[in-house]
């Protein structure tokens, strides 16, 4: 369960609530951890026995201004060290804002940055998972499709750079099932959620409440031998309306049905 799903809850409330539901693993949120206190938070995580599948997030490089990179790389280095300390399986990476650069100009600069970042990941033994974003989230990064991100990962060809599959943004990508079948080894995290019909923003819904063929996509990942986690990451106005408990309840019910453990949907 991704802590973003219960966006306004504090770190300790997330852990206590998720644990009470028997959730075995979480994606830990940096903002929440820092607000709670890093040392206390790390101890709480250790005591909970929960696996940290991902630490969110680092990067956000000002691609248009290399003068800022040294400081941004220092921040990333500290975040990577923290991810290693909590034994996170991965650390989420956002490329950052290209401003008015073209895709290719932004990618060239981001590749330079990756050249400095990846040795840090290797040293800490925590791989990055890079998340492509909808064009509207251009301040977060220049890459918008799974395909383009996988091309970058192929080119970089490092075990320390994987791609994050974010369902609401990628479910209708061209070549989706072919990419899953052929390049699942490059995918380090699958964030699952659903999208209600006629959604025109980045609003997500509980699994099964929308139009995304989640089952089909997960089956494709399973068939491709994907070995990572399926991280439930649901955020947006519908989650706030429904409430965190109900959003999580519905999503876990979907998971139970997927595993054949729950009642048939009525």
Q: Where does this chain bind another protein (CB under 8 A)? A: 98-100, 102-104, 107, 134-139, 142-145, 148, 169-170, 172-177, 197-202, 211-213, 216
Q: Report the chain's C-alpha Rg in angstroms.
A: 18
CB of 174 to another protein, least distance (A): 4
List the Cα angle 235/190/82 in 5-degree steps.
80
Rank residues 198 and 261 by Cβ distance to another protein and give the closer one.
198
d(CA 248, CA 242): 10
Rank residues 43 and 136 by Cβ distance to another protein and give the closer one.
136
Upstream peptide bond of 64 is cis (omega within 30 degrees of 0): no
CB of 151 to another protein, least distance (A): 8
φ, ψ for residue 119, nearest 5 deg? -60, -35
CB of 242 to another protein, least distance (A): 19
Rank residues 86 and 202 by Cβ distance to another protein and give the closer one.
202
CB of 18 to another protein, least distance (A): 27
Closest residue by Cα to residue 93 from 49, 158, 41, 10: 158
Rank residues 115 and 237 by Cβ distance to another protein and give the closer one.
237
d(CA 170, CA 148): 11
CB of 170 to another protein, least distance (A): 8
CB 53 within 8 A of CB 189: yes
Residues whose CB is less than 8 angstroms from the CB of residue 229 and which lie 6 or more positions away in sequence, other chains included:
25, 53, 54, 89, 189, 190
CB of 3 to another protein, least distance (A): 21
Rank residues 31 and 78 by Cβ distance to another protein and give the closer one.
31
d(CA 56, CA 90): 9
Give the number of other Cβ atoms within 10 Å of residue 162's Cβ.
22
Rank residues 49 and 135 by Cβ distance to another protein and give the closer one.
135
Rank residues 41 and 141 by Cβ distance to another protein and give the closer one.
141
d(CA 100, CA 196): 32
d(CA 140, CA 138): 5
CB of 101 to another protein, least distance (A): 9
């Amino acid at each position: 369960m991704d802590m973003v799903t219960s966006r306004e809850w504090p770190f300790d409330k997330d852990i206590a609530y998720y644990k009470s539901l028997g959730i075995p693993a979480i994606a830990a949120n940096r903002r929440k951890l820092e607000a709670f206190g890093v040392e206390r938070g790390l101890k709480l995580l250790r005591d909970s026995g929960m696996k940290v599948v991902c630490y969110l997030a680092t990067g956000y490089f000002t691609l248009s201004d290399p003068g800022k990179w040294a400081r941004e790389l220092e921040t990333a280095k500290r975040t990577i060290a923290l991810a290693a300390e909590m034994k996170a399986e991965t650390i989420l990476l956002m490329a950052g804002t290209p401003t008015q650069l073209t895709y290719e100009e932004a990618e060239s600069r981001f590749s330079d940055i990756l050249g400095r970042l990846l040795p840090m990941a290797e040293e800490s033994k925590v791989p990055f998972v890079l998340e492509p974003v909808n064009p509207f989230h251009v301040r977060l990064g220049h890459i918008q499709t799974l395909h383009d991100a996988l091309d970058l990962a192929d080119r970089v060809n490092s075990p320390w750079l994987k791609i994050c599959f974010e369902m609401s943004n990628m479910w209708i990508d061209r070549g989706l099932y072919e990419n899953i079948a052929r390049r699942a080894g490059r995918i380090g995290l699958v964030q699952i959620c659903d999208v209600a019909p006629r959604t025109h923003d980045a609003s997500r819904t509980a699994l099964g409440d929308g139009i995304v063929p989640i089952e089909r996509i997960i089956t494709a990942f399973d068939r491709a031998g994907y070995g990572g986690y399926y991280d439930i990451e649901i955020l947006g106005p519908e989650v706030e309306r429904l409430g965190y408990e109900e959003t999580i309840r519905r999503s876990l019910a979907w998971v139970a049905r997927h595993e054949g453990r729950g009642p048939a949907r009525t």
